Structure 1
């Protein structure tokens, strides 16, 4: 048994937003290796960075000897959790959810070990019990333990139904019962005594705690982690460009890496506590030395490397670092064809071109310029580069020599504005 208590560890790194019966859970985890779970609904074919915190918490539990169970919401995904959502979720189909399950399970396996004995991680799908359930039995045996008054007064519900012209369907309203029943089943079947989730899950988690207390007569616990939010309050899972996905086909390793390199300075040290496995003493030393801008920039890169390596592995990290270095140093010779494919996917703006184009036209097509006269002025002022080489000829036309791997040309305006020309 590990001497370090998991609850103390999580508190030290500021993982805990809310926790039920903290002293009792602390005592339990001092003396027993517990089973815990976290649920993930299948709302897309990939997880995004908003899911990273609960995954890291599951990993820390496992590293300290506890058994993590991941619940895939094959059934609850058909409804969608309404917690703190301003509008009703789009209902997904059985076919979509079935296709997405494999992708999500593979991503979860990046964080958890499924072959280490007692505390090997386990993935279960709640469709395995909900597809056998009788609606009358569920309402009679489970529904009777829920007070509609209490459910309506939960913040996640109240905030929604008080919005003029919106309200909430019975379908969404029933979600809390379904998640509570998940906890109830896992407590019965796997002796799960702790559910973790984002801070928006507290109402659903407490419903499960109450249901288990009423029927199983067991004490169980709930723990929520903070939601990753930006300064404008929007979840970190969403950006102006959309979510930062864990799937490299949806968000390339390069773009994933760049996201962390470019986070707000104030988030660097909280994120290092959450998204790395560094010793706490090392983290404190880094934070104490982080009063200088150069140290903050260095530590951002360390953070980006650590979390990119966890999600995309050594190969993905090397590619992201290589692309970053080559663009920064204006030396493209080390970039591979796959590196350029990442840039085309989502790394920098790209345009497809047919046949021969002159430089002035390409600047307009790529939105680096708005007119021929502006293009000429930028070329004359030495502001334009092709594949990191300055071009001063206003009549310049592209040749095969400019097409890296026969199909890519990196067009650059100034130091930071790029466009990737993709030749067909």
Structure 2
């Protein structure tokens, strides 16, 4: 008996031509845009010590507590200890680790670093989310004397991302921004959230009941429909910002206004990773991604270097889900292709109707419509298949239609079929 074939692991997939051409175009465009803004490429290992993510990302985050691929690397000698290693679930912590390890801050200069590569999370497979997924990301980090804390760095990163999406041809994106405050603002806000969540916790979904205890900020980020009214009534982070954080955020927004980058302030945008401070942001798109519509996100992490045992090094960064970016581009291309279809395909039923079909096409074209004419020798099924490839509608021209000058018109997008008199046909096909 033949053995079953081996397939890709669930939650992963192969990337094949011609799709890889689109991936290469996206990555080449990103590299070109990053170069114009002074970024250089960094390549970090695919796996790191588990403690890097536990300390940096946060032990109570879903990433660390539920989604990481972690294993014990057995000791090879009695003098060695086994190491806990993890496939990287994100790359900001790895970049900051490299910044510390290679003493990049000793130059005194601002470091602008970008990366492109695979990440790994044990997520539930869904549209645009895979267990091995690709990210395009960048980090701006440096000692305080380099200006890394400046609000202009935040605005520059956001303006660069807006330019990148525009150059890739992604239209209709939206930018949401917020401030989660400083390392002293955030604990005060978390305490207020815990207090507000305590009396309503039992009314929340099971995941949010757990988060209310372990990581209250993640409750704000929840997409559970049944919880939204309760979440909307929770305290807002803006009410807990100190004067310095408030001014920093004001400067970010003023710079975005000056650059003409459109945005919406979203007080619920907190991003649940432990290292975020002050500015957080998310670019979203409504095409191709379903309800989970985030294309990319990021924020400021002024205390991450110290959390990992390094010097003070304020920073800001982002990660683009490249898989989701590709889906959006493909969906936009499909939508654009659909809108470029002809207005109508005239399908004569029988070769004796060919001349009438051509005459009707002439009248419709002179009225400004784009029309293709079929052949009366086609069977009805073949006419429908040919029409669906090139036109938004099919006009069926049979013996009765020619005699009565009332045509059968089918709209492919809605699968609706109507009878249209010749006098009304142009208007119907223009709709």
TM-score band w.r.t. shorter chain:
under 0.3
TM-score, normalised on structure 2?
Answer: 0.27
Q: Which has the higher helix share?
A: 1
Higher strand share: 2
Larger of the two Rg values belongs to structure: 2
